[in-house]
Amino acid sequence: MNALVLLAGVGSLLLGVPYVAAPRRVYHFGFESLRAFGSGPSEPSDGMLWMHRFVGLCSLVTGILYIIPVL
């Protein structure tokens, strides 16, 4: 069970790093179906970039909190 929790923590960390480090690339990598239909590639607003950073930070904190008790 500890190995599974450690794997979940590492996965959460690996998911959170790109959201914090490169939110613009993560935004452009997202699903086209969630964006406005018929519009070209759009630039993310500052609010969207900060939301991606916040999600990444939450993922990093979750990963750290998963890993600390296992170690």
Reading the block at residue 9, the tokens are 């923590």
pTM equals 0.80
How far is it between the farthest Cα atoms of the chain? Answer: 50
User: How much is the pLDDT for 48?
Assistant: 87
pLDDT tens column, 9-40? 999 999 999 999 998 888 877 665 555 665 66
